[in-house]
Amino acid sequence: MLTKPQQDMKRPIFSGHETFPLRYGWLKKSYNAVLHATMQGFDAKDVFSNEAAISEFGVGKNMVSSMRHWCNMTGILEENQLTDFAHAVFADEGFDPWMEHPMTLWILHYHLSSNPQLVTYYWYFNINNNLNLDRKTFHNEVMEYCLKEGLKPPSPTTLKRDIECLIRLYMFKTTQNNDDAIESPLTELELITPLHKQGYFAANRGAKPTLPTPLFWEAVFRFWASVAESQKTLSLGMLAYQALSPGRLFLLDENSLIERIYDSVASFKGQVEWSETAGLKQLELKGQTTLEALIQMCETQVQDVYRHEI
């Protein structure tokens, strides 16, 4: 179920959202519009650019552009085509067309935070080691990261807007009016929390009770396949701290990772085991088990959760 948009690190993305975070209903409306256009023989890329888009979506021109951006970045669209993920979740008979299950929110977050094209998001969830941040420090750190990685840095204004959009996408602000406070569904994940110190916010590292266990394990095995496919073991350190690890992407600390593994690794009896030998904590593949088979198993379990809980 976890897929990522096509990536091109030669073209980092800092704009396209028009300063609007993802809003409730946008992905389903966009899915319906693109599906209808495709069935009528029209080019899907025109759905967001033709003159009728404003009236069809009921929002302004900039918001239409933002809707297209979020469809591309969350894995709904790839090269102007609806993805398998989009059909599975957002079709009328799909698993969760109106995003009522936290599974969908976690999948969308995974797609955003694991995409290195989205430099601001990728840095915050994969590189950032600060316990607390303010906007100025965030801005400076991303600029330094761009220079270090040889990426063309954005203008200060563009980066400022991108950072503000990320904060509004994830952080619930009790000081806003009710419409603005709940504008983004991803605030439900409670990944970023405001601090009493004015202007500061923190990554909410720790247990994530709404993160479905099959999705957690799918992320584990996909990470394992991407960084150590030929190895039979994967250390706690890699699971917790390496870029694209479940610890990074889901903001799980070591204790939360260990607790999650303890509670559920038995479901892979004979295939995966957790070991603590001579102070080394790690997952081990057993027998002829392959990561690809485990990923497919988790995908089936993710679908089962959708079927039984919605």
d(CA 310, CA 308): 6
Query: 202: which strand partners?
Result: 132, 193
Q: Which helix (H) or strand (E) holds 281?
A: strand 280-285
Burial profile 142-181: b = 16 or more Cβ within 10 angstroms, e = fewer: beebbeeeebebbeeeebbbbbebbbbbbbbeeeeeeeee
Q: Which helix (H) or strand (E) holds 152?
A: none
User: How long, in residues, is the chain?
Assistant: 310
pLDDT 10s digit of each residue in the chain, 310 long?
A: 887 555 566 689 999 999 999 999 999 999 999 999 999 988 888 899 988 899 899 999 999 999 999 999 999 999 999 999 999 999 999 999 999 999 999 999 999 999 999 999 999 999 999 989 999 999 999 999 999 999 999 999 999 999 999 999 999 765 555 555 557 999 999 999 999 888 899 999 999 999 999 999 999 999 999 999 999 999 999 999 999 999 999 999 999 999 999 999 999 999 999 999 988 999 999 999 999 999 999 999 999 999 998 6
Q: Are 113 and 249 in contact (CB under 8 A)?
A: yes
| Domain 213-309, second-level architecture | Orthogonal Bundle (1.10)
Angle in degrees, CA 54, 12, 121, rounded to 5 = 80
* Residue ranges covered by each domain of the chain: 26-203, 213-309
Nearest Cα neighbor of 126 from 149, 154, 100, 96 is: 149
